[in-house]
Structure 1
Amino acid sequence: MTTKAQTAPLIPRSALFGNPTRAAGQISPDGKWLSWLAPRDGVLNIWIAPADNPDDARAMTAATDRPIRQYFWSPDARAVMYIQDKGGDENYLLYRVDLASGEETTVTPFENTRVELVGASRTIRDKLLLGINNRDPQWHDVYLLDLATGDLTLVLENNAYAGFLADDNLTVRMAMSQNEAGGTDYFRVENDTVEAEPFETTAMEDSLTTAPAGYTTDGKTLYWIDSRGRNTAALFAQDTATGDKRLIAEDDKADIGSTMRDPLTGEVEAYAVDYLTTEWHAIDPDIAASLEWLGERLEGDFGVNSRTDDDTVWIVWNDPLVKPVATYIYDRKAGTLTPFYVSRPELEGMPLQPMHPREIASRDGLTLPSYLTLPPGSDADGDGVPNAPVPMVLLVHGGPWARDGYGFNSIHQMLANRGYGVLSVNFRGSTGFGKDFINAGNKQWGLKMHDDLIDAVNWAVDQGIAAADKVAIMGGSYGGYATLAGLTFTPETFACGVDIVGPSNLETLLSTIPPYWAPMVKIFHERMGDPGTAEGLATLRAASPLYKADRIEKPLLIAQGANDPRVKQAESDQIVGAMKSAGIPVTYVLYPDEGHGFARPENNIAFFAIAENFLAECIGGRAEPLGDALKPSSAEIVEGASHVKGLDAALAS
């Protein structure tokens, strides 16, 4: 019998994973210019237009290889600036494009260097503070950048600290360093000299849930997101003169997340709590009125991308969930909401599916905030349970110290459109739900963290959501590790797996971290296992899928970026080699021009073309034929082309 899911229009891969029509809309600080990312000759570049004439657009950059994905306005509104790496190596350099002349300059013309923004000012608009690790890759020295001349002046040579915080005068006020316990020590900085003793410190248990959140413009208040002495991280304001702290906001279920700050004073005006969905709470009455006004006019979720210095104009994104994301220009003074763009207009009218937030109980009593998307037509009454069990993909997030959230998700939509239920689970160790939830994952890679995923699969089967013999596991980074763990530790649970840049050997993973992560390595040892101790090394090896590769009995697809600085190519090479030695088939796709994930749309489209045809053979969904999807990409099929329907033919054409 043909189901509605099988007759729903097939959403083209290019509509989900190709270039957006526009993205990342902003308004210049002075309100005179609109900016966004859009394709130029097929590659995402920065475009601008006068705010009073949005149709008079021009491209400001001319990237021809990798898309520009992060940019910002200089504080003086005289330039747009962006960071870019080479081939996914994550050595980000800073570039500046002058508005008047169109001239582009490389602000940090160094090799093997990663630039960080240390500070920007609301009052000193022609300068920035940068962290640059060109002297020693482990340590970022602090430099003052003169935006007008491009001159870099050394402010502080760094040989001990993981990061710095500055105030609005571009004065370095704080240095951070990991302590022996795996927590963080915070040191005052006076006259560019770091004090000997910390004025604040955290234990390891608070290391991922406590951090300073910046100074007000006058420097009198320092904000903290802080979990010390509590479970969920609350928002505090600290008097910098007396050290006294005042509680601003807290929530029992989730950490305080994003804040809205006054563009000129830096004072917190609103904050967000993100448990199953995001809820904004305004402190300032005018901000409360604006958020309420927007909420009455926008369907689904929304947020503020960018604000003018006088706060009269906002760039607002809107995610209706079952329609493509749209962006608007909100004139607060005039009370108008003007369409700016729809990021992916080709998705309009497509059968996009709602996402259902769910709470799933783990076997030992934790609550796992999760998200479920179902195939079109499979859930007649819209209650989040299909009329009959469906094939399912367990989509596992990376990190693992990150989280899944509510909102439009291209992978969820593609997989649901192909006939699968899609379940994303915030397993223990995920962030955002309090420190107890994070710390429950300490040294639990492949153990209780993996149990949570199995519990979620069992829940989906018990609820009549998933067909027990047609569950795949898929994910990137830690999600790739979870895929390998699923097929080695619990080979009976999953019908197949898709591993994207996942580590297979935790010992070699920790021995090859990027040099600029070295100041924070203690946190990995405390939360994963210390390879310098016999006990820690045994923990890491026991949790490494590489040593159990001979247990794999279900189809496996592996994708890897050759330039990945976090999860080296050797992580995929090792397990592919072990599987070949054991005579176990595997399909291995390598991208020579990518790193930790795939930035180029051509490579993303090629990967999902392979992945959806792989899944269709394993668990019976439908797939858009491979066609010519591989031709524009750099994909190299290292092993196992014959295991994916149509892949041999696509390579031969």
Structure 2
Amino acid sequence: MFLRTRLAPLFSLLMLAAGMLGAAHAAPPPVADFFGPSSFGGAQLSPNGQYVAAKVPGQSGRDRLVVVELATSKAQAVAEFSDADIGDFQWVNDGRLLFDSTDKDVGVGDINAAPGLFAVDRDGKNFRQLAQRRSNFITTPAVARLLPWHTYMLGQRGAQDSDAVYVRSLSFEPRGSVRSEQLLRLDTRTGRSTGVPMPGNVRRWVLDARGEPRMATTLEDGKSTIWLRENDKWRAITTFDAWISSTDDFSPLDFDADGRLYVMARHGSDKTAIHTFDLVAGKVDPVPRFSIQRYDFSGRLIRSGDRLVGVRYLGDTYATEWLDPDMKALQEKVDAQLPGLVNLISLPRRPESPFVLVTTYSDMQPRTYFVYNRDTGNLNLLGQSQPKLDATKMGRQQLVTYPARDGMPIPALLTLPHGAKATDKLPMVVLVHGGPWVRGAVWEWSADTQFLASRGYAVLEPDFRGSTGHGAKHLTAGFRQWGRAMQDDVTDGTRWAIEQGVADPKRICIAGASYGGYATLMGLIREPELYRCGVNWVGVTDIKLMYGGSWFHTSDLPAQYIRYGMPRLIGDLETEAEQLMAVSPVEQAARLRQPLLMAYGGADRRVPRAHGTRFRDAVSATNRNVEWIEYPEEGHGWRLPKNRIDFWTRVEKFLDRHIGPDAVVQEQANQ
């Protein structure tokens, strides 16, 4: 079942520029409905649960910060810019918010300002700028009172009982990656700040249940060290390899009100779970407190007041294990009103309020926000992220597993167009995720996937070996396997879809970004009879270029990752150059003869434009069917809605010509 329109909007201001779902039409939804800006997002409860703040576009299209008083349904825009959008935000306390800025109309290459930091009361009063948006060569007294431009939000809510918050002041490597994060305690009314002493180059902080910095993780010479703060002094707990995990590693997760530390650790198992850590003995409790059968733990603890009441985790999709009986009962009530959906309940920091926030979604429905009143049982619609899309017309997703050629089970996400069956021999796009050391297959709405499904394509998204989230064995099996076993997993998934009757063997295209773009090129090169075409955007083409470069095309990959991580995760360029060149697409470009669409950002620092131009020039010597797109202002992906819409419009036409309706017409004409 899906969201019914009987749940009327609660606040007309929030629904500005967010029309209700229209009637279904035979024609697929416009590209802009998938890739245009969000109409509503980021909803957060105030600590006392009496207010909700969210980002909502105004008449100008700029995102504003809106606060709603839940008891009266009164909504007010409390902060907005004429030349920028509200970016991230958080509640400082019940009456004040911290936020930064962004500009969704400007690409990475054209950004000339940092996010800055700002604060405002929930009624729109007492606005104050706290950090610069630009580096100023001429300093005035007003500018001197501001924190420097490289000051950012921490992303942890803290105690939320004063006007102060913790923020990060970043320092950078010459390549542009972060070297360390200095923690500052910032008074959002006066603008005054004090620094927290650091035990080294800190890359991560953990606040305790009182909102105070208690743990830090430093990175030095390829080693991570976890530190504990006691009586304003730091004590090293453990040191381990930063890039290759072992069974003894752990990652701090959170503290409870009693000071008990919860960590994520394998502790001899294939998959990470939540354990407690004895701070005196310096040991992980061998008995896990919470684990997921088929996945590494990824998630957070949920507190209500001083009590630990639940665990939010990522399994097939996001879910919640409630430890509190009342919360279990509440979840059942919400699920009964919103059946067939994932319903994530967010609690205020203080439990006295009757209101909770519900974020709901499915494979077919984009994220939608509700407010639930525990006293009355009323559920009211707050806003929809993509209100123009009809969820009942989206494709259905299913998590599948297929065997690789060596017997390793490979998880994947299979999406079928609306109304299609898994035996229809559909044209198919094999969509390879980037990273590659990330998790790809999650059951949730995806613009890329649903757009392709709306155009009649089945979509297979394999979590090839090397993907995270599926245990140590699955992860480490991908080490040093670029273009080899990792690529075999993608190939084997494609052949599996053909054998199952999902895919028409004559109409399969491979596509992906970043590492996925690399896998697209290697798939076309290695399997010319399997893939009819390919779409590569911001993909790696020259492995050697990842390790070095010149001043005009150096990657922003961290220096420590290049020195300590890449030789063991990808390969050692000094001792294994020949093997790496054998799986570097630019060295094999003459073998690629299928139609290819390539797109790169002119301001990409992660995979510089040179990766694209070098491969384009090499492949064009023997392949006339190469299309090139460049967005000069874009970085590693498409930030601007207009470019997202343009890119996917081009992809639609490209696929149509080679595996879509036009390809069928052409094939019939040639018979």
Residue 437 of structure 1 corresponds to 474
Residue 634 of structure 1 corresponds to none
Residue 609 of structure 2 corresponds to 569
Matched, 1:259 2:305: no
Matched, 1:153 2:194: yes
* SS in structure 1 of the partner of residue 298 of structure 2: strand
Distance 1:55 1:487, change over 3 A: farther
CA separation in 1, counterparts of 2:157 and 2:359? 24
Equivalence map 1:409-424=2 (5 Å) = 409-424=446-461
Contact 2:465 2:486 survives alignment (8 Å): yes
Q: Which amino acid aligns with 1:32?
A: Q
Segment drifting more, 577-586 vs 143-152: 577-586
Residue 370 of structure 1 corresponds to 412
Residue 70 of structure 1 corresponds to 88
Q: Equivalent of 2:37, from 11, 19, 22?
A: 19
Distance 1:247 1:596, change over 3 A: same
Contact 2:656 2:662 survives alignment (8 Å): yes
Residue 280 of structure 1 corresponds to 320
CA separation in 2, counterparts of 1:336 and 1:570? 56
Contact 1:489 1:545 survives alignment (8 Å): no
CA separation in 2, counterparts of 1:539 and 1:192? 50
CA separation in 2, counterparts of 1:410 and 1:473? 17
Q: Which amino acid aligns with 2:384?
A: V
Distance 1:617 1:192, change over 3 A: farther
Contact 1:183 1:207 survives alignment (8 Å): no
* SS in structure 1 of the partner of residue 196 of structure 2: strand
Distance 1:524 1:316, change over 3 A: farther
Segment drifting more, 456-465 vs 251-260: 251-260
Q: Equivalent of 1:47, from 66, 82, 101?
A: 66
Segment drifting more, 510-519 vs 231-240: 510-519
Q: Which amino acid aligns with 1:87?
A: G
Q: Which amino acid aligns with 1:525?
A: P
Residue 399 of structure 2 corresponds to 357
| CA deviation after TM superposition for structure 1 residue 277, in Å | 4.1
Equivalence map 1:4-15=2 (5 Å) = 8-15=26-33
* SS in structure 2 of the partner of residue 334 of structure 1: coil
Residue 596 of structure 1 corresponds to 636
| CA deviation after TM superposition for structure 1 residue 611, in Å | 0.9
Matched, 1:500 2:537: yes
| CA deviation after TM superposition for structure 1 residue 168, in Å | 4.4
Segment drifting more, 101-110 vs 390-399: 101-110
CA separation in 2, counterparts of 1:462 and 1:127? 60
Write the deviation string for residues 102-156 of structure 1: whole angstroms up to 9, x where unpaired: 6352525454847361754226532233332247652222322222222232323
Q: Which amino acid aligns with 1:105?
A: Q
Matched, 1:240 2:279: yes
CA separation in 1, counterparts of 2:246 and 2:640? 34
Distance 1:523 1:466, change over 3 A: same
Q: Equivalent of 1:215, from 249, 255, 259?
A: 255
Contact 2:452 2:458 survives alignment (8 Å): yes
Contact 2:344 2:360 survives alignment (8 Å): no
Distance 1:257 1:92, change over 3 A: farther
Q: Equivalent of 2:269, from 230, 234, 242?
A: 230
TM-score normalized by the length of structure 1? 0.84
Distance 1:106 1:123, change over 3 A: closer
Residue 80 of structure 2 corresponds to 61
* SS in structure 1 of the partner of residue 565 of structure 2: helix
Matched, 1:101 2:125: yes
Q: Equivalent of 2:46, from 4, 28, 42?
A: 28
Contact 2:202 2:217 survives alignment (8 Å): yes
Contact 1:76 1:126 survives alignment (8 Å): no
Equivalence map 1:63-462=2 (5 Å) = 64=83, 68=86, 70-82=88-100, 84=102, 87-88=107-108, 93-99=115-121, 100-101=124-125, 103=127, 105-109=129-133, 111=135, 113=150, 115=152, 117=154, 120-122=157-159, 125-134=162-171, 138-156=179-197, 160-169=201-210, 171-178=212-219, 184-190=224-230, 194-195=234-235, 197-199=236-238, 201=240, 204-206=243-245, 210-218=250-258, 220-243=259-282, 245=285, 247-265=288-306, 267=308, 269-274=310-315, 276-304=316-344, 306-311=346-351, 312-348=354-390, 351-379=393-421, 385-386=422-423, 388-403=424-439, 404-462=441-499
| CA deviation after TM superposition for structure 1 residue 608, in Å | 0.7
CA separation in 2, counterparts of 1:447 and 1:116? 41
| CA deviation after TM superposition for structure 1 residue 416, in Å | 1.4
Write the deviation string for residues 400-430 of structure 1: whole angstroms up to 9, x where unpaired: 1222200212222211121111111111111
* SS in structure 1 of the partner of residue 638 of structure 2: coil
Contact 2:38 2:386 survives alignment (8 Å): yes
| CA deviation after TM superposition for structure 1 residue 578, in Å | 2.1
TM-score normalized by the length of structure 2? 0.82
Q: Which runs of 5+ in 2 are unaligned?
A: 1-24, 136-148, 549-553, 664-671
Distance 1:413 1:226, change over 3 A: same
| CA deviation after TM superposition for structure 1 residue 61, in Å | 2.0
CA separation in 1, counterparts of 2:306 and 2:38? 35
CA separation in 2, counterparts of 1:322 and 1:135? 41
Segment drifting more, 31-40 vs 154-163: 154-163
Q: Which amino acid aligns with 2:125?
A: S
Contact 1:132 1:143 survives alignment (8 Å): yes
CA separation in 2, counterparts of 1:621 and 1:80? 51
CA separation in 1, counterparts of 2:479 and 2:309? 33
* SS in structure 2 of the partner of residue 365 of structure 1: coil
Residue 475 of structure 1 corresponds to 512
CA separation in 1, counterparts of 2:281 and 2:199? 28
Write the deviation string for residues 545-599 of structure 1: whole angstroms up to 9, x where unpaired: 1211121111111222222232222222221232244554422222233222112
Residue 20 of structure 2 corresponds to none
**Aligned residue pairs, count:** 604
CA separation in 2, counterparts of 1:146 and 1:454? 55
Write the deviation string for residues 27-86 of structure 1: whole angstroms up to 9, x where unpaired: 222333322222232343433333234463426222646x55533222454024136487
* SS in structure 1 of the partner of residue 388 of structure 2: helix
CA separation in 2, counterparts of 1:560 and 1:268? 46
Contact 1:392 1:467 survives alignment (8 Å): yes
Q: Which amino acid aligns with 2:583?
A: A
Contact 1:235 1:248 survives alignment (8 Å): yes
Q: Which amino acid aligns with 1:229?
A: G
How large is the Cα RMSD of the aligned pairs? 3.1
| CA deviation after TM superposition for structure 1 residue 438, in Å | 0.8
| CA deviation after TM superposition for structure 1 residue 287, in Å | 2.1
Residue 592 of structure 2 corresponds to 552
Distance 1:191 1:88, change over 3 A: farther
Contact 1:391 1:619 survives alignment (8 Å): yes
Write the deviation string for residues 446-502 of structure 1: whole angstroms up to 9, x where unpaired: 111111100000000111111112111111222122112222333332111111211
Contact 2:107 2:640 survives alignment (8 Å): no
Distance 1:524 1:161, change over 3 A: farther
Distance 1:460 1:251, change over 3 A: same
Distance 1:332 1:529, change over 3 A: farther
CA separation in 2, counterparts of 1:369 and 1:248? 26
Q: Which amino acid aligns with 1:225?
A: M
